[in-house]
Structure 1
Amino acid sequence: MREIIKIKDQPELKELAANWFHHKWGVPLEAYFESIETSISGKTAVPQWYGMFSKNKMIAGIGVIENDFHNRQDLTPNICSLYVEEEYRNQGIAGEMLDFVCQDMKNQGIETLYLLTDHQVFYEKYQWEFYTLAQPEETQNPSRIYRHRFI
């Protein structure tokens, strides 16, 4: 059975989650620990971190942060770090994760979410709309910003 867990609701998972995200994305481990700790404090809706677990193994993850390393500081908050382990892909997990996070953010009063990606078409399947281009910090080529509004 698969289950999506808000890491802040089960802080004993913070080390597992931080390590998992670090290994998937190469962002420094300390950055994940700090962001997850901030989410656990519960003082703000953002940042938030989520994991999908199957048999006590993290098989997918996603986060919400203020800015996903791009030049459009006005487009906030951002979905980030969506990843599904290869053997679990094409089972609708990414969509489940996106829906879960969107509902959670809506419940916390967030009306619009953004995400930075090089994917085309994939996010439209989940009611995200292409919004604009932004310049990622690590590349010379602009990437797509998608938007999901709850109003």
Structure 2
Amino acid sequence: MKEFTIVKIKEHPKFLPEAAEWFHQKWKIPIEAYIQSMEECINSNTSVPQWYIVCDDKKIVAGIGVIENDFHDRKDLTPNICAVYVEDSYRNQGLAGNMLQFVCDDFKNKGNDYLYLITDHSTFYERYSWEFICMVQGDGELTKTRMYRRKL
């Protein structure tokens, strides 16, 4: 199995334009939001936000972010993993699990005790030691979505 390197945007700001475009294409959030968040990541000494990508040669094939709140009503459950995505042809190779563990380790080293995430998946994150804790209301959503927590 091929080894992939996870790149921290904070440490490699040259990737900002390409990473912002890639996340925008995957999630349809305005590119300006990603640019602003990644600039804050690069220029601030706070742990949130953070952005990470995985490249194969020079092409981004996976990414993940951490923001204060992933647009839901439980503002007390923070920070939140967001924008987890692996390109179809790179799935089932352990990339998502490796990214999740990398981010958990990074945030444990920053002094965090927990990370949170929301998802429509009902079994995927349990494989990586995440526990379902409650349903939350997403901003502008008609139905509730699953909230998970991971002790670091």
| Normalised TM-score (structure 2) | 0.96
AA of the residue aligned to 1:38:
E
Q: What percent identity do the matched residue pairs reach?
A: 54
Show structure 1 runs of 4+ deviating over 4 A.
none
Of residues 67, 78, 88, the one that matches 2:69 is 67
Of residues 29, 37, 40, the one that matches 2:39 is 37
Look up the match of 1:78: 80
Structure-2 separation of matches of 1:3 and 1:97? 10
| Normalised TM-score (structure 1) | 0.97
Deviation at 1:37, TM superposition (A): 0.5
Deviation at 1:42, TM superposition (A): 3.4
Deviation at 1:134, TM superposition (A): 0.3
Give the superposed CA RMSD: 0.8
Structure-1 separation of matches of 2:66 and 2:142? 24
Structure-2 separation of matches of 1:25 and 1:72? 21
Gaps of 5+ in 2: none
- State the Cα deviation string for residues 18-59 of structure 1 (Å, max 9, x = none): 000000001111110010001101310000000001111100
AA of the residue aligned to 2:65:
G
Aligned residues: 150
Look up the match of 2:118: 116
Structure-2 separation of matches of 1:101 and 1:16? 20
Structure-2 separation of matches of 1:88 and 1:77? 27
Look up the match of 2:89: 87
- State the Cα deviation string for residues 68-87 of structure 1 (Å, max 9, x = none): 01111111000000000000
Of residues 45, 48, 67, the one that matches 1:46 is 48
Structure-2 separation of matches of 1:133 and 1:54? 36
Q: Secondary structure in 2 aligned to 1:2?
A: coil
Gaps of 5+ in 1: none
Look up the match of 2:30: 28
Deviation at 1:96, TM superposition (A): 0.4
AA of the residue aligned to 1:6:
K
Look up the match of 1:140: 142
Look up the match of 1:7: 9
AA of the residue aligned to 2:31:
L
Structure-1 separation of matches of 2:44 and 2:5? 21
